[in-house]
Amino acid sequence: MTIAHARASPAAMVRSFPLPVPMRRALDLAAAAATAGEVPVGAVVTRHGTIVAEAGNAMRGQADPTAHAEMVAIRDAAYRLGTPRLDECELWVSLEPCAMCASAISLARIARLTFAAEDPKGGGVLHGPRIFTQPTCHHRPEVLSGIGESEASEQLRHFFADRRP
Ligand code: ZN
């Protein structure tokens, strides 16, 4: 094989590059949520690289409008770790968190937020109220976006396309 043949295009390299394990898990939780009739969003909390809590959207299943994947995962992480301060934790989500979840992330003092797809309609981090930029926001996590974006966007597109009459 020549060197030219061995080279992958930059796009192919991005596609084949494995996702971080927590984001891979968040996308799988989102897919499971869709199967259960929930909007496909998954969230994973890690502490020092280990998953401590995870959830998919559960608004319908729990009949709770606040049961967004992030809220459920943050509550479970705090419960399991026995503290409301998750300052040694990271949150991985398949979709940009809404204003409610962004506020909860700040209140929990989560160190880093990584999300896959941006949400121009309902997001509260890079869109809408941009919670972490507000003067009333007293803890701003490090924010990374776009990790697993294409797969997360595809999940949401499929879910809403299937629902259209
Ligand atoms: Zn939310």
The alpha carbon of residue 85 and the mean position of all alpha carbons in its chain are separated, in whole angstroms, by 19
Q: How far apart are CA 3 and CA 129, in angstroms?
A: 50
Which pair of tokens denotes residue 57?
């959207």
* Residues annotated as part of the active site: 70
Query: What would the mean pLDDT of 61-68 be, rounded to a whole number?
Result: 98
- Confidence band (pLDDT; 50, 70, 90) for 4? very low
Expressed in angstroms and rounded, the spacing between residue 95 Cα and the centre of ligand 1 is 9
- Residue-wise pLDDT tens digits, 13-24: 455 579 999 999
Q: Separation of 8 CA from ligand 1 center, angstroms? A: 38
Query: pLDDT of 79-90, one tens digit each?
Result: 999 999 999 999
Q: Tell how far the Cα of 100 is from the centroid of ligand 1, in angstroms.
A: 5
Q: Cite the beta strand spans of 18-145 per DSSP E.
A: 42-47, 50-56, 89-95, 112-117, 142-145
| Cβ–Cβ < 8 Å for 93, 55 | no
Q: What is the pLDDT of residues 115-134, one digit of tens each?
A: 999 999 999 999 999 999 99
> pLDDT confidence of 74, banded at 50, 70, 90?
very high
What spacing in Å lies between the alpha carbon of 120 and ligand 1's midpoint?
A: 13
**Residue 156 and residue 119: Cα distance in Å, rounded?**
11
